[in-house]
Structure 1
Amino acid sequence: MSSVPPPGLDPGPLRRHLDRERPGMVSGPLEARLIEGGRSNLTYVVTDGPGRWVVRRPPLGHVLATAHDMKREHRVISGLHPTAVPVPEPLLLCEDDSVIGAPFYVMEYVEGTPYRTAEQLAPLGAERTRAAVLGLVDTLVDLHAVDPEAVGLGDFGRPDGFLDRQLRRWGKQLDASRSRELAGVDELHTALGRGLPRSPAPTVVHGDYRLDNVLIGADDRIKAVLDWEMSTLGDPLTDLGLLAMYSCRLDLPRSPVSTTSGAAGHPTPAELVERYAARSGRDTSAVSWYTAFAWFKLAVILEGIHYRYTLGQTVGAGFDRIGELVPVFIEHGLTTLQEG
């Protein structure tokens, strides 16, 4: 690790705070490095040599407090840690901005690999890839089986009207990013509103559940589910729809959106849904709506990125091609709804 502190985390004040709050946990000077790949909240690995921990904090700059609430993230992993859901052990929450410049929490370091692309999965081979992705479904079933009240998360969200609020929220996001004509997007939004399914009993939902938000161990089992910033109480099938969407074959050359679905052995969306239904006992007959909603949500997110790119507010590899993807996602959403 570099001795130069990464942006947003000075190891010196962090060490002093840990010595006060968790005496004996750290045995030497701390070094830190930022883990690449996060989309919003920042993740760091810190070490004193023999020990390693992970620190999470909000992004640099001004952000909405509700979008990057460290207390919520810490609370959900604290609730889930004693359950069958594999999450890192939470060690400390600090809501005092004066320590490192923002609220943060510390959790245990878990060894494992986040697979982000089909190319990264290729060395595993078809059989191991299939096992890893099916394990993703099994862990999702475990998450949705947790009784929120029993783990202190009974008031973690507002499940009544959850789908309607989600649809309205992403509709507003779309309106905030409108800068060009997008064929079919209003048709998709309207059709989703007309076909709103009746939600099953609410559960803890992850909100961004996919392969690159978990750590896979050397035994191809899930060692930790990460990135709980979108978690709440709501309709569990939104997690399943998102997972099904990310498991569709896009076959887009030069796509800046990474998916693992092209890897040999990767189960199809239908296989994942069937396994979820069999293991959870839930009715998944409306899964096409949830998958179409996931396509719509991702189209809105990508259009927001494209809009900021056109304004010169976002730079980086691949951002110039994001705009091309939006119509593809809209078309997938419409097709999915029609086929359902």
Structure 2
Amino acid sequence: MALSSNRDVTDDSRAVPDSHPGADAAVVGAWLAERLDDPAWRHSTLRPIGGGRSNLTYRVDSPAGAVVLRRPPVGEVAATAHDMGREQRVISALADTPVPVPRVLASSAGGPPVDAPCYVMELVDGVVPLGELPPGWATTEDERRRASQALVDVLVALHEVDPAAVGLGDFGRPEGFLARQVRRWVTQWEKARDSGIPVEEKTVTELTRLAEALAGALPTTQRHTIVHGDYRIDNCLFDAGDPGRIRAVLDWELSTLGDPLADLGLLLVYWREADDGPAWRAARFIPSPTQLPGFLGRTEIARAYAAGSGLDLAPLPWYVAFGAFKLAVVLAGILARVRAGVVPASMAEGLEGSVDPLVALGHHVLAEGLAA
């Protein structure tokens, strides 16, 4: 790893705490020695990496080299949200497409090496931008503009892949995707509430009102594509020497077949601008460097995506509002799992009070569009 930001799939200074359960170096090493046909893997060490709050990622080092291991969170989780088989399947399917992904080296449906479904992928060197940019990387406005454009170009490339042509024709049920998504995240919200997280009645009322508004105004899907499900700048690994090149797209656990504008809408929720209005500033709970000079603004991102994809972005406010709704529920779920003790308390750092502002942002975008 040449450079790293606050989070990285290969090398990260903000690692998951060593006490976090999930993998044993001896067991993983023995399994890799057999699967990769090299006894040197038996002398492996493990280091949890990544600032992600969902699936667990480990760097495995040995005299044979280094790889990355992915497994679901420890404890009871929603199987569909942490399906390692689906994640490794989509990465494998995209290997020979213009979408950059790590190469899958081995996988397990359960049992060894971690008593859960998992897979191992190649270690890719690069930079994952999160929060402050690493020193010496994307230091000019032109480099940041090119990093923004690379994000758009890769998203367009993903949405141009023919699912059937890469063996993903049965990867999801694209018909009725948006309606099911709204229902799904309502259900996830109810599970988070039932776990006992502190929720005010106003929060319940406003989130329910937003869900009903979204369900009552579903846009017409223009195209069915592979959907990443959580596409954002820190789920992409950029080239250390060229900020305008993405070397790998990461974290495919929510991928399926559906409406591509759902990816764009959520990307814009994560995006920050220097002159964001109150509703956008209040909803900033995931670090991002995109408010720095040179990064494209949301409108420019949308315009570039429209030019590349040919899709009509008139209904984009709905997709952004849905993205805010979905992220509110995702963060509520993380808070619930921390409260239940199945993940470390550090996973909830900075997330307290996140639901209300994100719900408010959803209402704001439905009413006012993408205006500040």
TM-score (norm. length: structure 2): 0.82
1:246 corresponds to which residue? 270
The 2-side partners of 1:127 and 1:293 are apart by 31
Amino acid at match of 1:230: L
Deviation at 1:28, TM superposition (A): 6.3
Matched, 1:9 2:38: no
Deviation at 1:29, TM superposition (A): 1.6
The 1-side partners of 2:159 and 2:338 are apart by 37
The DSSP-based 3-state class of the residue aligned with 1:105 is strand
2:302 corresponds to which residue? 273
1:74 corresponds to which residue? 88
Deviation at 1:321, TM superposition (A): 5.7
Q: Deviations over 1:239-262 (max 9, x none)?
A: 010111111446758965323332
- Within a 5 Å distance, the mapping from 1:1-340 to structure 2 comes to 7-24=21-38, 26=40, 29-49=43-63, 51-118=65-132, 120=134, 124-125=138-139, 126-178=141-193, 179-180=199-200, 181-182=202-203, 184-218=206-240, 219-220=242-243, 221-249=245-273, 252=281, 256-306=285-335, 316=345, 319=348, 322-340=351-369
Q: Does 285-294 or 120-129 show the bigger shift?
A: 120-129
CA RMSD of aligned residues (A): 2.8
The 1-side partners of 2:40 and 2:207 are apart by 52
Higher relative contact order (CA 8 A, sep 6+): 2
The DSSP-based 3-state class of the residue aligned with 2:351 is helix
Answer whether contact 2:104 2:120 (CA < 8 A) is retained.
yes
Deviation at 1:65, TM superposition (A): 3.1
Amino acid at match of 1:150: A
Amino acid at match of 1:236: P
The 1-side partners of 2:343 and 2:119 are apart by 28
Classify 1:338/1:216 alpha carbon distance in 2 versus 1 (closer, same or farther; 3 Å): same
Answer whether contact 2:226 2:258 (CA < 8 A) is retained.
yes
The 1-side partners of 2:254 and 2:171 are apart by 12
Answer whether contact 2:30 2:42 (CA < 8 A) is retained.
no
The 2-side partners of 1:97 and 1:53 are apart by 20
Amino acid at match of 2:270: Y
Answer whether contact 1:121 1:260 (CA < 8 A) is retained.
no
Q: Does 236-245 or 53-62 show the bigger shift?
A: 53-62
Answer whether contact 1:256 1:318 (CA < 8 A) is retained.
no
Q: Does 329-338 or 153-162 show the bigger shift?
A: 329-338
The DSSP-based 3-state class of the residue aligned with 1:92 is strand
The 2-side partners of 1:102 and 1:318 are apart by 21
Q: Deviations over 1:73-119 (max 9, x none)?
A: 11101100011100001111122413332222111110011111145
Q: Percent identity?
A: 43
Deviation at 1:227, TM superposition (A): 0.5
The 1-side partners of 2:346 and 2:225 are apart by 37
Q: Does 168-177 or 115-124 show the bigger shift?
A: 115-124
The DSSP-based 3-state class of the residue aligned with 1:33 is strand
Q: Does 28-37 or 254-263 show the bigger shift?
A: 254-263
Q: Does 169-178 or 308-317 show the bigger shift?
A: 308-317
The 1-side partners of 2:34 and 2:90 are apart by 25
Answer whether contact 1:33 1:44 (CA < 8 A) is retained.
yes
Unaligned runs of 5+ in 2: 1-10, 12-17, 194-198
Deviation at 1:329, TM superposition (A): 1.5
Amino acid at match of 1:98: P
Amino acid at match of 2:261: L
Classify 1:100/1:123 alpha carbon distance in 2 versus 1 (closer, same or farther; 3 Å): closer
In the alignment of these two chains, the number of paired residues is 338
